[in-house]
Amino acid sequence: MRISKLAAASLTAGFLFLTAGTAGATAMSASAATGTATVTVVHGIPNTPVDVYANGKKILSGFTFKTVAGPLQLPAGSYVIDVRKAGSAAASTPVLSATEPVTAGENATIVAALTASGTPVLTAFANDTSAAGTGKGRLVVRHVAAAPAVDVYAGSSKVISGLTSGQQQALDVPAGTVAAKVTLAGQTAAVLGPVNVPVTAGMGTVVYAIGSAAGHTLTAVTQQYPLGGAPSSAQAGTGGLGADPNSPIWPFAAIGGAGLALIAIGAAGAARRRRA
Amino acid sequence: MTARRWRVRWPAAGLIAGLALAGGSAAGYALTRPPGHDYGTVPSPGTLASSHSAPADRPAATHRSGTAEPPAAAPAVTAVQVPVRLLIPAIGVNAPVLPTGVQAGGALAIPPDPSDVGWWAGGGFPGEPTGAVVLVGHINSAVSGPGALLRLQDARPGTTVTVTAAGHAYRYRVVALRAYAKTSLPVTAIFGQQVTARLVVVSCGGPFDPTTGHYLDNIVAYAVPAGTTH
């Protein structure tokens, strides 16, 4: 029916970012290299199995509530996304319809969800693929449920306040498991969770609050997607167990160590001299 | 007087020699590292089908307006396969595969449990005609002992590698093994995606530097598709 203005703006921003971000890279993501976009589809409308069409071609059949489909690779271009009740004729009037432009290398998620007042809606979110710090992942919360504004807790700490339906918020956190809890804004009783959400270094983990508060169908589904551009290194061992006996490092380490010792002696000597 | 002159000069000389030795040790290894880890021929990028070349940039205005372009006759929507397990029986590898990504500074994150193998989720997917499926695993861990890819350096051209994903088994055949100093990693050869289908398995190896807690080399096995079981 409609694509939220926020989501449309973020798609445009994502397009601009990706255009700038890949220009100087020596290697690129697979989807950028092949001119495709990576698209995930989330079903957040209770009791409504659907078929999903892209430009008239059925891409998902019998797609049900709480299902996350993908990743799908779509050649860059503009897509008319039609959602029909499962089993309906391809020519029948869609329940939901929207036009989605996707760009090469883009990572986006299309959510069939409910607005705060319970109206079905298609919403597109650009997944922010900018890198997080070493050892960190990105936790993204998207409120796409028929429910009022919510707060989100990680453990006992409130990390997101007053998130309204159709909105998202992201934070970069150390890799690990986050016990996430959703409350109505300003309250402490959980309407959802706590659920254990895995946060992986170098990955975005998206938690979708879907369903309907009035219909007692509020629940959460998650999606993961990769962060960062192309890698430039991999550090895959810290123990020394597999060291190659034919090419020992120790002579070089010893020489380096001797050098460090000489630096220390020299620095000490310089300090003595300054005092003298 | 003489003693005073010695005190003045030794610190300076020591600093210079120390800096040279400390800085030169890693470079010294890189220059003198012995051969013996390289087997086979790294596959060339190959000829990519034109349908997979990057499209020309579309005007941003078209994108912002959201105006529908003429729909493609049949959008080639592909549900790609996410790897879940890596099997290399010849060198005792049978490990779960978890998606991973790239951290600030460009380092590919490795799963924290050394018995798991990471799959770069921004890279290629098994079964696709183009792109490199990039897997990365620990040789070992200071905390947990041997890692999933402890014996990657024993892989040889001809070694069979299987990647499973959603009920499909994608077989690959190793065609080359390389040891690269991490200071001079051929990033495009390893991570580049503008290539015909291949599998690249990355671990660490070579000498272990106890001062940094890391190995000086990356061991890289290159493999090409050798059939699929559905």
Query: Which CATH number fits the domain that encloses residue A75?
Result: 2.60.40.1120
Among the listed ranges A145-149, B6-10, B74-78, B88-92, which one has the minimum average pLDDT value? B6-10
CATH of the domain at A181: 2.60.40
Report how far Cα B137 is from the mean position of its chain's Cα atoms: 9
Highest mean pLDDT among A12-21, A231-240, B149-158: B149-158
Q: Which of A203, A227, A251 is the last residue of a domain?
A: A227
Asked if residue A267 has pLDDT above 80, the reply is: no
Distance to chain A for B104, nearest Cα, Å: 5
Same domain, A40 and A139: no
Q: Indicate whether A240 belongs to any domain.
A: no
Under the banding of pLDDT at 50, 70 and 90, the label for residue A9 is very low
Picking from A17, A59, A78 by the largest number of B CB atoms within 10 A of its own CB, the best residue to mutate is A78
Q: Is residue A135 located within the same domain as residue A114? A: no
Confidence of residue A47 (pLDDT cuts 50, 70, 90): very high
Measure the CA–CA gap between A104 and A19, rounded to whole angstroms.
9
The overall average pLDDT reported for chain B is: 78
Contact check, Cβ <8 Å, B29/A228: no
Angle at A74 between CA A225 and CA B122, to 5 degrees: 30
β B117-120/B93-100 pair status: parallel
| Residue of chain B nearest A34, judged by CA positions | B52
pLDDT band at B210 (very low <50, low <70, confident <90, very high): confident
Nearest CA in chain B to A72: B79
The reported pLDDT for the residue numbered A60 is 95
CB-based contact, A6 to chain B, within 8 Å: no
Domain boundary among A105, A127, A149: A127
Scanning A12-71 for CB atoms below 8 A from B yields 12, 15-16, 19, 26-36, 54-57, 59, 69-71
A213 to chain B, closest Cα gap in Å? 32
Residue A54 lies in a domain: yes
CA distance B158 to chain A (A): 23
How far does A178 lie from chain B, in Å, by closest CA? Answer: 16
pLDDT at B213: 76
d(C-alpha B7, C-alpha A45), whole Å: 81
In a shared domain, residues A123 and A3? yes
Among all chains, which residue has been given the structure tokens 């919360």? A141
Residue type, B52: H
Contacts of A15 in chain B (CB under 8 A): 60, 63
Query: Has residue A242 got a pLDDT over 60?
Result: no
| A79 lies in some domain | yes
Residues in B closer than 8 angstroms to A76, CB to CB, are 55, 58
Residue A164: what pLDDT?
A: 98
Do A122 and A132 reside in the same domain of the chain?
no
CA distance A251 to B50: 52
- Write down the pLDDT at residue B195: 95
- pLDDT bucket at B62, cuts 50 / 70 / 90: very low
Q: A55 and B26 in contact by Cβ < 8 A? A: no
Is-contact A225 A40, C-beta < 8 A?
A: yes
**Could you tell me if A166 and A182 lie in one domain?**
yes
- ipTM value of the model? 0.78
Q: What is the DSSP string of B131-164?
A: SEEEEEE-SEETTTEE-TTTTGGG--TT-EEEEE
Q: Is A243 within the bounds of a domain? A: no
> Residue A33: what pLDDT?
85
Closest-CA distance, A111 to chain B, in angstroms, reads 17
Domain identity same for A8 and A83:
yes
- If asked whether residues A123 and A2 sit together in one domain, one would say yes
| Structural element, H or E, at residue B218 | strand B214-229
pLDDT of residue B4: 45
Q: Are B122 and A226 in contact (CB under 8 A)?
A: yes
Domain range spanning residue A15? 1-127
Residue A17 lies in a domain: yes
Question: What are the structure tokens assigned to B151, written together?
Answer: 């014996």
My answer on whether A154 and A101 are in the same domain is no
Q: Which residue has the higher pLDDT, B182 or B163?
A: B163
The pLDDT assigned to B211 comes to: 80
CB contact under 8 A, B71 and A79: yes
Percent of chain A with pLDDT over 70: 75
Per-residue pLDDT at B144: 65
Cis peptide preceding A194, ω within 30 of 0: yes
Question: Residues of chain B with pLDDT > 70: what percent?
Answer: 70
Q: Per-residue pLDDT for B8 more than 70?
A: no
Closest residue on chain A to B34 (Cα): A247
Strand partners for A113: A121
- All residues of chain B having their beta carbon less than 8 Å from the beta carbon of residue A37 are none
Q: Does residue A54 contact residue B72 with C-beta atoms inside 8 Å?
A: no
Q: What is the pLDDT of residues A86-110, one digit of tens each?
A: 999 999 999 999 999 999 999 999 9
Report whether pLDDT(B69) > 50: no
Q: Is A176 domain-assigned?
A: yes
> Cβ separation of B57 and A267 shorter than 8 Å?
no
How far A220 CA lies from chain B's nearest CA (Å)?
Answer: 21
Would you call A123 helix, strand, or coil by DSSP? strand
Nearest-angstrom CA–CA distance, A76 and A72: 12
Q: Examine the domain organization and report whether A3 and A121 are in the same domain.
A: yes
Q: What is the CA radius of gyration of chain A?
A: 25
Among the listed residues A22, A28, A229, A199, the one whose alpha carbon sits nearest the alpha carbon of residue B105? A229
Residue A209 has pLDDT above 90, yes or no: yes
Are A138 and A218 in the same domain?
yes
B chain contacts of residue A73, beta-carbon cutoff 8 Å: 77-78, 80, 125, 128
Q: Choose one of A127, A156, A181: the last residue of a domain.
A: A127
Is B212's pLDDT higher than 60?
yes
Convert B137-174 to b/e letters by CB count within 10 Å (16 or more is b).
bbbbbeeeebbbbbbbbebeeebbbbbbbeeeebbbeb
Laid out side by side, the sheet with A36-43 consists of A120-126, A107-114, A36-43, A68-75, B78-79
Is residue B143 scored above 70 in pLDDT? no
**HEC readout, B61-117:** HHHHHCCCCCCCCCCCCEECCCCCEEEEHHHCEEEEEEEECECCCCEECCCCCCCCE
Structural domain total, chain A: 2
The mean pLDDT of B52-65, rounded to a whole number, is 34
Tracing tokens 């070349």 back to the chain, one arrives at B53
Residues B140, A238: C-beta atoms closer than 8 Å: yes
Burial classification of residue A115, based on how many CB atoms lie within 10 Å of its CB (0-12 exposed, 13-18 middle, 19 or more buried): middle
Q: Does A242 contact B150 at a Cβ distance shorter than 8 Å?
A: yes
Q: Who's near A188: CB < 8 A, 6+ residues apart?
A: none
A174 contact B CB<8A: no
Do residues A51 and A144 both lie within one domain?
A: no
Q: Tell whether A255 is covered by a domain.
A: no
Surface-to-core class of residue B51, CB atoms within 10 Å of its CB (0-12 exposed, 13-18 middle, 19+ buried): exposed
Report the Cα B76 to chain-centroid distance in Å: 29
* A16 → chain B, closest CA residue: B60
Q: What is the pLDDT of residue B63?
A: 32
Distance from CA of A13 to the nearest CA of B (A): 10
Whether A247 is in a domain gets the answer: no
Query: Which residue, among B117, B100, B84, B199, has the nearest Cα to A225 in the 3D structure?
Result: B100
Higher-pLDDT residue of A112, A234: A112
For residue range A152-171, list pLDDT tens digits in order.
999 999 999 999 999 999 99
Question: B72: nearest CA in chain A?
Answer: A55
**Predicted TM-score (pTM) of this structure:** 0.78
Residue B212: how many other CB atoms lie within 10 Å: 13
Minimal CA–CA distance to A129: which of B193, B99, B103?
B103
Res. B126: pLDDT tops 50: yes
pLDDT greater than 80 at residue B28? no
The pair of structure tokens assigned to B122 is 């921004």
Whole-angstrom Cα distance, residue A116 to residue A119? 8
A134 and A198 part of one domain? yes
Q: pLDDT class for A30, splitting at 50, 70, 90? A: confident
